Chain A
Amino acid sequence: MTEIICAGFGGQGVLTTGLIIAHSAMMLGREVTWYPSYGSEMRGGTANCTIKVNEGPIASPYSKAPDIVCALNAPAVDKFEASIKPGGWLFVNDSLVDKDRVYREDINVVRVPMSEVAIECGNPKGANLVLLGAVAAHTGLFKLDELDEQVTEYFARKGKINPKNSDCLHAGARL
């Protein structure tokens, strides 16, 4: 079982990033749950979602000790860094989080300049895909080419086809 939390400001695409992970894992034949924080959330406030990926059935959709945290802003690091399993992964949005920040030593921290890389790819809306590329390259959750295929499929179902999405994934994977 792999447990993932995506967290950040409302509007950063945190929930969508989680949906792309869940969709891709589902299409690759795994069991998935995706669970959003919900309730009296407000625009500009915090948002997060929990994704579980497993070969067999999943009991609870909640996670107490995630394997992977994608933190798209500093409050997300504050909230979830301590809960990551030792040896787990923290992906930090280097475009927004203080570069001198000090992290736990028993986890792997990957700094991803999401916005800058997405702009370099000519696809500023693809910042979250840069992050997903980095997740694929480091954690083994997905092979990059299978993730690429499923991301294309995810957006194709919504009638949005953009070849630069692949560029973002691949650029993220090179970080």
Chain B
Amino acid sequence: MAKELMKGNEALAEAAIRAGCRFYSGYPITPQTEILEYLSWRMDEVGGTFVQTESELAGINMLLGAAAAGARALTSSAGPGFSLNQEGISYLVAADLPAVIIDVMRIGTGLGDIAQGQGDYWQLTRGGGHGDYRTIVLAPASVQENCDMMETAFDLAEKYRHPVLIASDAAIGQMAEGVNLPELREHNIDSFDWAVRGCRHGDAPRKIQNTYYTRPDYVEYLRDKYAAMDSEQRWESYMADDADVVLVAYGISSRVAKEAVNEARAEGFRLGLIRPITLWPFPNRAFEECKNAKAYMTVEINILGQMADDVRLAVRDTRPVDFYGTFFGLPESDVIVEKAKAMLEKEGK
């Protein structure tokens, strides 16, 4: 099939259809509205259900209902809308329900602004709703990865009966790149023994409810589930094995970081990159190969350097970890190289 030129948001939407998603409920907000716009006609073509809800709260709760019935169900939001999704995500986790929620990150707190941001990292990776949970978070860095990760997200969600988040950003959502689309796949809504599909005469009734009320082994069950999810660490390593300074960046920032690695290497400065593909579980294992690293620096579009904490934990504070954060605008490759050099200088080489 010929390559298509698609916007990142459209690619997410088309890839969801091709992964067998036949239910979407959500509310428009920049910079992710193209997902709704696209699915509003595309879902109809494949006989699925698209609902533009009255709010993000309704969107996430309709999604919960569809997931309980065994459908591959999707919602998406950004900024304050994604905050409104959090209560429902906590309920999805509580009820052991698989679903995919996309956050096309914008910048800032409160209303913030519509430019690309990476300030939702803590909310995404720590369990943004109430209670005691985490979810697998996938972070695409290109329009092609937006396509490729959608099926992975649904597969992982069903494997663990747990919601999976996709952490895209406005830059990848709004830009168009060439993509190879995956094959169209149908999902059988009757493939689960837990889904509520109506109770036929003589069948034992099925219920979807908080597993706290039903599982005597609740605590052990959840500990085992999270331990198993920890095996899903994914990352891309780029010239990290011999690097003196290792950058850590995901999403749109990782592309600029990779450019910085190339620029540094061209002048003989050994810079490397670890790109987390799962933000949770954080790819701790990726750091085992950084035998030569004297320092680590995250590159992020936020003010506080949110990911730096996870790098400190991954390297057990054996090396200094700093961050280069931008706010309105992408990181710059020459600034990355300059800051990385300064870090190495400080460590006495």
Point out residues on A near B: beta carbons under 8 Å: 19, 22-23, 26-27, 31-36, 38-39, 57-62
Contact = CB atoms under 8 A, between A and B. Distances in A.
Nearest to A61: B175
B42 interface: no
Contact of B252 (A27, A38, A60): A60
B114 A38 contact: yes
B237 interface: no
A33 B114 contact: no
Contacts of A31: 177-178
Contacts of A27: 2-3
Interface stretch (B131-139, B189-197, B253-261, B275-283): B253-261
Given A19-B176, A34-B175, A38-B31, A26 B5 contact: yes
Given A26-B3, A62-B330, A35 B175 contact: yes
Given A22-B5, A39-B30, A32 B252 contact: no
Interface string B297-330: 0000000000000000000000000000000011
A36 B178 contact: no
B259 A32 contact: no
A88 to B, nearest CB: 20
List the 4 shortest-distance A-B pairs measured between CB atoms, nearest first. Answer: A59-B259, A34-B176, A26-B178, A59-B255
A60 B174 contact: no
Interface in B155-198: 171, 174-178
12 contacts: A22-B5, A26-B3, A26-B5, A31-B178, A32-B176, A34-B177, A39-B30, A57-B258, A59-B256, A59-B258, A60-B171, A60-B259
Interface in B106-158: 114
A60 B114 contact: no
A33 B5 contact: no
B333 interface: yes
A33 B177 contact: yes
A33 B258 contact: no
Contacts of A58: 255
Contact of A32 (B5, B171, B255, B330): B5
Contacts of B259: 59-60
Q: Which residue among B175, B256, B329 has the maximum number of chain A CB atoms within 10 Å of its CB?
A: B175
A19 B171 contact: no
Given A32-B177, A35-B175, A60-B330, A19 B5 contact: yes
A158 to B, nearest CB: 12
B30 A38 contact: yes
A58 B252 CA distance: 11
Contacts of B252: 60
Given A26-B5, A27-B2, A38-B174, 18 more contacts: A22-B176, A26-B3, A27-B3, A31-B177, A31-B178, A32-B177, A34-B176, A35-B175, A38-B114, A39-B30, A57-B255, A57-B258, A60-B171, A60-B252, A60-B255, A60-B259, A61-B171, A62-B330
A36 B174 contact: yes
B173 to A, nearest CB: 10
A62 B114 CA distance: 15
A39 B79 CA distance: 14
B30 A34 contact: no
B145 to A, nearest CB: 13
Q: Which residue among B31, B178, B258 has the maximum number of chain A CB atoms within 10 Å of its CB?
A: B178
Nearest to A36: B174
A31 B30 CA distance: 26
A60 B329 CA distance: 10
A102 to B, nearest CB: 32
A27 B5 CA distance: 9
Contacts of A36: 174
Contact of B175 (A26, A33, A57): A33
A164 B114 CA distance: 40
A32 B30 CA distance: 23
B56 to A, nearest CB: 20
Nearest to B2: A27
Contacts of A59: 255-256, 258-259, 333
Contacts of B177: 31-34
Contacts of A19: 5, 176
B5 A23 contact: yes
Contacts of B333: 59
Contacts of B5: 19, 22-23, 26, 32, 34
Interface string B268-304: 0000000000000000000000000000000000000
A60 B31 contact: no
